[in-house]
A and B are shown apart, each in its own frame.
Chain A
């Protein structure tokens, strides 16, 4: 457990000191969302209708942006070798890295999302559900993305490759995330969608560390 927290702390420290990754992700998220009112026009009805979908898609793309760096730095400087042959299960260490990734990219996205909701006239009923759905959904992005990041280690243009591998897998998350917000706006119960997102999250949390660790062992060979 000490190793888990040591690695988590190290990755958070690295993210805070280098800073650029998290900032880049948030700025990208904001810029993409702001492009929509500029291109579609400031009509309140249309923007309110598409707000949840736009925020979700933008969050998804922003999360993809930082994905290829998840293991790449450790791979390049040889740290990954040491993590794979450490006395601790690689799965646990992978989970620490995924958690650090979510805390430095997913969580900031959630924090700025209400602001972007205001930009897009998202109605008040939708805010809490949107935050809840992102809170359940963005960790799934980090978890599944880690598998893609591990599989594409060492490949050329791995950033694009990850997107092609992983984005199709995010479709269910996107559907239920957006439909939860839509249901809230229409005054319908949102519990089923959020429960399904929760189930996705548990499934990804159980599967991703194993798959990522297996891919990393292949990568260091």
Chain B
């Protein structure tokens, strides 16, 4: 398994965010996206997730062009953005369940409860999600990672508003994900959680 991007250029509202950027991630590898604010980390992650079309360049999933065979890629990755898609009127467990169902609950039967436990949310399972704090909502959003069976995780500053214990949970989750031979791409400003490659987006900024 591999996830590769070749010569990707991103132009947003007539401004070149980055140009001719290439990357590659293989089984068991983690890639950190770094760089100053506004250098296009989130845009790159949204391009990887297929939410944004690159102005130029091609993405490959297992050497197959994603724009030609998108079905084999969809469902093989999880995207965690800035926002936490959490509905206040639903309980914590219901919130996680809906995404697990839409993203096909793991075949090897890791249950919703176990996924909540990974982020110490099991005791809040029946609480309406509107009572959660920002950090707890983040934990709930991240617990989607362990409730689904995806090879690739695209994480956009996942440790935002997490406390130390939460970051530790995230680190353990990422480590075990990588040990199982899966991939992670993660935008972050903090020091690396586990050893991996770093892509500095500042190098691809457009210079006239």
Contact = CB atoms under 8 A, between A and B. Distances in A.
Partners in one complex: yes
Interface of A: 2-3, 6-7, 10, 13-14, 17-18, 73-74, 76-79, 81-88, 93, 220-221
Q: Identify the interface centre among B51, B82, B90: most chain A CB within 10 Å of its CB.
A: B51
Interface residues on B, range: 20 to 34
Interface string B162-198: 0000000000000000000000000000000000000
Interface string B55-71: 00000000000000001
Given A6-B97, A7-B102, A81-B83, 15 more contacts: A3-B102, A13-B94, A14-B87, A76-B83, A78-B81, A78-B85, A81-B85, A84-B51, A85-B49, A85-B74, A85-B79, A86-B103, A87-B75, A87-B103, A88-B102
B160 interface: no
Contacts of B71: 87
A220 B51 contact: yes
Contacts, number: 70
Contact of B74 (A78, A86, A220): A86
Contacts of B52: 221
Contacts of A86: 74-75, 102-103
A83 B94 CA distance: 16
Interface in B42-59: 49-53
B51 A18 contact: no
Contacts of A3: 101-102
B89 A14 contact: yes
Contacts of B7: none
A76 B84 CA distance: 10
B86 interface: yes
B90 A77 contact: no
Contacts of B204: none
A3 B79 CA distance: 18
Contact of B79 (A2, A74, A82): A82
A interface: dominant SS: helix
24 contacts: A3-B101, A3-B102, A6-B98, A6-B102, A7-B98, A7-B102, A10-B87, A10-B98, A14-B90, A74-B85, A76-B83, A77-B86, A77-B87, A78-B83, A78-B85, A82-B79, A82-B99, A82-B102, A85-B51, A86-B75, A86-B102, A87-B71, A87-B103, A220-B51
Nearest to B75: A87
Contacts of A81: 49, 51, 79, 81, 83, 85
A44 to B, nearest CB: 45
B126 interface: no
A138 B94 CA distance: 30
Given A7-B98, A88-B102, A78 B84 contact: yes
B89 A77 contact: no
B87 to A, nearest CB: 6
Contacts of A85: 49-51, 74, 79
A86 B75 CA distance: 6
Contacts of A84: 51
Nearest to B103: A86
A62 to B, nearest CB: 23
B84 to A, nearest CB: 7
Given A14-B90, A85-B51, A86-B74, A77 B102 contact: no
A79 B88 CA distance: 13
Nearest to B53: A221
B87 A2 contact: no
Contacts of B51: 81, 84-85, 220-221
Contacts of B89: 13-14, 17-18
Given A78-B82, A85-B50, A13 B103 contact: no
Contacts of A93: 102
Contact of B90 (A13, A74, A221): A13
